[in-house]
Amino acid sequence: MATYDLVVRNARIVKPGQPIREGDIAVRNGVIVESDGVVSGDAAQTIDAAGSHVLPGVIDPHTHPGLVAPLDRRLPLESRGAAAGGVTTIVQYLRRPESYREAVPARRKAAEEHLLQDFAFHVTLLNRDHFDDIRMCIEDFGVTSFKIYMNSRMPLSERMRMDALPGQEVNDIAPVDYDDGFLLDAFRALAPYRGVRLNIHCENSDIAISETAKVVAAGRTGLTAWSDGRPAIGEAAAMHVAGVMSREYNVPLYIPHVGSREGIRAVEELRKLGTSLTVETCPHYLVLTDESSDTAKVAPPIRKEADQAAVLEALVRGDLNTLGSDEIPYTLEEKGMSTFWTENTAFSGCGLLLPVAISANLPLQLVAETTSAAPARAFGLEGKGSLDPGNDADLVIVDTESESQVRPQFLNSSSDFSVYDGMSLRGWPTVTISRGEVIFDRGRFPTAEGRGKYLFRSLATD
Ligand SMILES: [Zn+2]
């Protein structure tokens, strides 16, 4: 019997905070056993990675694959698109109006049947009845992160799209009416569970409603109008409300999709005040602006070049910590482009997280940190996010030099458009490995679908 199941040889190994060194990575039973030099001993499978970099597999902490039904046709495609992008762990948001008692196990089963990579869930709290599900989610389902949308006030969220359950051909639509009193009660409900995390979409609804009305009345459309209707001061204002409650109840925050100068300044202020938080930005804030195509309508909006520059600087400083795609893999038809103000927000992007981050010229060690190590830490994903021995052999071999143009038809997603269409990107994965098994190899997907494992998370005990 061979000493190792797999050895990746001659790789430029990228670990956060360390110089990039050339060496081998040896895998046994799906776990990394060596990654600090040249490995001797034979292997059942050898991959020569000479000339390429190896990074820890991408962890996308922010996806909404269930917002496009049906799961049995869409999940396999999104999983392939993600694998082609070096993604080895997908964290999915779940959003349902009723109790999660049946929804979480049903969605776990669907993901186990269709995903190539490992996965976990964040559960969205939409109403006070959901507070009764918190203990069950933590203890029975291993879900330790919850989500609240501060932008979901009527009439903004009169028709909120809900996650599909297995068998559903069309997504349910339900009304959601958020207010700050609900947020306060959510912090109270989560406070007894140490180590739980609350992910908050920070946008003040009142400001969005009143500013959008002005923009619409002026007859404006397009991404600049969209951005003016949801000004970044509304994001900053919401962050401070979330921050004061987080400090009061000792529930750490995760703030997704920060992409504005005002948002970054608020993050700095929250940290000065002692708030415990991890902050995410998204690939679209790194390379797009409000001059991009109308398909890039997303909340919070994509802003100006100065915001783009501020996001990159904040990642380098460590004020922004993780990258998440916030993907909803709509087709153009599902997105509904006939009128701008009714167009659905968001788009696909999970499979492009890594190439966009590398093409934005982030140092590779910082790419490894923000696309893998930091999300693993933030969400207690044990054995993930590191190339050090003892961790799951989730890794991606990347050609960081050659450039190619984004073409939606080559992204394997069920989405038929890309907000990055025509953009020249580098940093494309050649091989993606999950727990020692090759799940993507230069355009091929060698394993059967449905090998992904559910990541049951535990609250830290101390
Ligand atoms: Zn989202």
Query: What was the pLDDT predicted at 337?
Result: 86
Within a 10 A sphere around the Cβ of 98, how many other Cβ atoms? 15
Exposed, middle or buried, 390 (CB in 10 Å: 0-12/13-18/19+)?
A: exposed
| Distance in Å, CA 313 to ligand 1 centroid | 23
Residue with tokens 């002005």: 214
| Distance in Å, CA 345 to ligand 1 centroid | 10
Whether the model pTM is above 0.85? yes
- Can you give the residue ranges of every domain in the chain? 4-53+396-441, 57-381
| Distance in Å, CA 147 to ligand 1 centroid | 9
| Distance in Å, CA 43 to ligand 1 centroid | 41
Task: Report pLDDT digits (tens) over 251-283.
Answer: 999 999 999 999 999 999 999 999 999 999 999
Q: Does domain 4-53+396-441 have CATH number 2.30.30.60?
A: no
Task: Report pLDDT digits (tens) over 283-294.
Answer: 999 999 999 999
Task: Report pLDDT digits (tens) over 415-428.
Answer: 999 999 999 999 99
Write the Ramachandran bin of 443: left for phi over 0, alpha for psi from -120 to 50, otherwise beta: left
Query: What was the pLDDT predicted at 461?
Result: 58
Residue with tokens 């430029």: 12
Task: Report pLDDT digits (tens) over 302-317.
Answer: 999 999 999 999 999 9
CB 430 within 8 A of CB 397: yes
What architecture is domain 57-381? Answer: Alpha-Beta Barrel (3.20)
Query: What was the pLDDT predicted at 410?
Result: 87
To which H or E segment does residue 78 belong? helix 71-84
Distance CA 133, CA 146 (A): 11
DSSP state of 454: B
CB 237 within 8 A of CB 210: no
Listed residues: CB within 5 A of ion ligand 1 = 326
CB 207 within 8 A of CB 231: yes
| Distance in Å, CA 63 to ligand 1 centroid | 6
Distance CA 221, CA 393 (A): 47
Distance CA 377, CA 89 (A): 13
Compute CA 138 distance to the chain's CA centroid, rounded to the nearest angstrom: 21
CB 362 within 8 A of CB 448: no
